[in-house]
Amino acid sequence: MTSAATLAPPTTPEPRTRGHASAWLAGAAAGAVAFSGTGAATLNGDELATISAASRSLAGLWELAQHIDGHFLPYYVFMHFWAKAGTAELWLRLPSALAIAVAAGLLVALGGRLHSTRAGVTAAAVFAVLPSVSYYGAFARSCAFAAAAVVLSFWALHRAAERPEAARRWVVYGVSVALVCCTHLFAVLVLPAQLVAAVALLPRRDLLLRALPALAAGGVPAVVLGLVGYGERHAISWIPQRGPEVLLKFPKMAAGAAEAGLPLFAVALAGAGLLWWSARTRPGGRVWAATLLGWLVLPPLLLLAVSHLVTPAYVDRYLFVTAPALALLAGLAAASVPRMAVAACCALVAVTVAAGFAQHVEVREPNGRFEDVPWALRRMDVRPGDAIVYGQSSVRAGFDYYGAGATPDDVLRIGTAPDPDGFGFPERDDVAEALAGRERVWVVWRGAKSSGARLPRVEAVREAGFEQKSAWHSADLPGLTVALYTAP
């Protein structure tokens, strides 16, 4: 039987410069991989909402935040200034790739603190090659920001707990917690794991005078944004209620592919066990084993609880903050293999790449974000006099972005600006009158062909006397449906 001492990392400290260089290199590599996830994938509705928000004035953003997406206000303000340099796909997605680079670099640093630079580099490499990272690292939303902020907060907590008398370290930790709260409301679901770690690691005086005040001060944005989000919970009324069975899909969600997620989750559990086992030679090993495991499994459990106690809110992307924990625990496991750590680390990364290869290809395809507006535009055989009606007003944003004047006549539109209190657009209600004299109407909606029957705008086109002649749906759900209606 192998002893815990055999599994523990070397006690000789590794040169700090080596760890810093590894963090920079790993971060750069992860950022490059994430940015490559942009590929040919077109912007989807969430990313177009980011453009809509970022393109408004600060006063307009404040007006929007009072009705919808108020908890995204910090991210929207950042993107407001970022978008002043342009709204091209690559430019809009670049901040997310940079956030992935930061997260990977911090994983190297955190892994080095918990075990060794080898463990940290392996964790960063595994993280970089997860299909979910290629998706959210090239996604113009705050998911990647939240992941980076969460890794920063765990790194800052470990650093502060190492020298609890250093007040500046607790200031850094408090700031990192505030960043977690500002990047995504549900990213705060990792904080209970940090609270447990602080209680277990720190003397009572340091806990009461340093750790808890830092956590409380950093958590203020969560309270404010949480109250805002609760008041705007109607905005997520589309989310269905989930049962406990959804947790079975969690490994797939965290990794972005079941083929990679399931084995990685098993290896991650082994990593937590090995870190716990090494406690005799590494002080705090058991506490950090439990903390990292809490980082991985508490967010889905708590989000499911919120869904049943407050409002349905269980959506996969809200849990992307667990992906770094999955990679870190797997990296710790591989780096703990006796006498074969290098081979084990290389094999772990290689297997992760192979297992997720199909999903890496998929997220880089034009329909990689499941709303291929250019496909819809190509599907339309537009003739002079054709009209277009949108099943959901917000779908218009994608056609504005990609259409460049090549769309049919938008007969319902009133003005060019979006609704000040949402992402839709002001429209006429008299559909029949707006379509008078038209022979052909293109109707586009988000969702399957069958979902059109439940949309008032689609029904209004039928009531105006038009009949569906043809309909096409993009490859994956929800996707887009393009239908041609003609006058009898």
Of the chain, the percentage scoring pLDDT greater than 70 comes to 96
Count of alpha carbons within 13 Å of 206, Cβ hemisphere only? 18
Q: pLDDT tens across 300-345, in order?
A: 999 999 999 999 999 999 999 999 999 999 999 999 999 999 999 9
pLDDT number for residue 20: 83
Q: What is the mean pLDDT of residues 23-51?
A: 92
Mean pLDDT within 447-468: 95
CA distances from 423 to 177, 194, 213 (A): 30, 36, 38
Compute the average pLDDT of residues 210-223: 97
* pLDDT score for 17: 58
pLDDT of residue 49: 97
User: What integer pLDDT is reported at residue 456 of this predicted model?
Assistant: 96
Q: Is the pLDDT of residue 109 over 80?
A: yes
* Residue 168, C-beta contacts closer than 8 angstroms, at least 6 positions apart: none
130: left (phi over 0), alpha (psi -120 to 50) or beta: beta
**In Å, what is the CA distance from 349 to each residue of 26, 35, 270, 305?**
13, 19, 16, 33
pLDDT at 404: 79
Q: Which pLDDT band, with edges at 50, 70 and 90, does 15 fall under?
A: low
Q: What is the pLDDT of residues 356-400, one digit of tens each?
A: 999 999 999 988 988 999 999 999 999 999 999 999 999 999 999
pLDDT at residue 4 in the model: 34
Size (the chain), residues: 488
Q: Looking at the predicted structure, is the pLDDT value of residue 2 above 60?
A: no
Helix (H) or strand (E) holding 443: strand 440-446
d(CA 105, CA 24): 6
pLDDT band of residue 11 (cuts 50, 70, 90) is very low
How confident is the model at residue 5, as a pLDDT?
A: 34
Q: 73-82 and 45-54 helices cross at what angle (nearest 10)?
A: 70
Separation of alpha carbons 67 and 62, rounded Å: 9
Does the structure show a pLDDT above 90 at 100?
Answer: yes
pLDDT of residue 16: 55
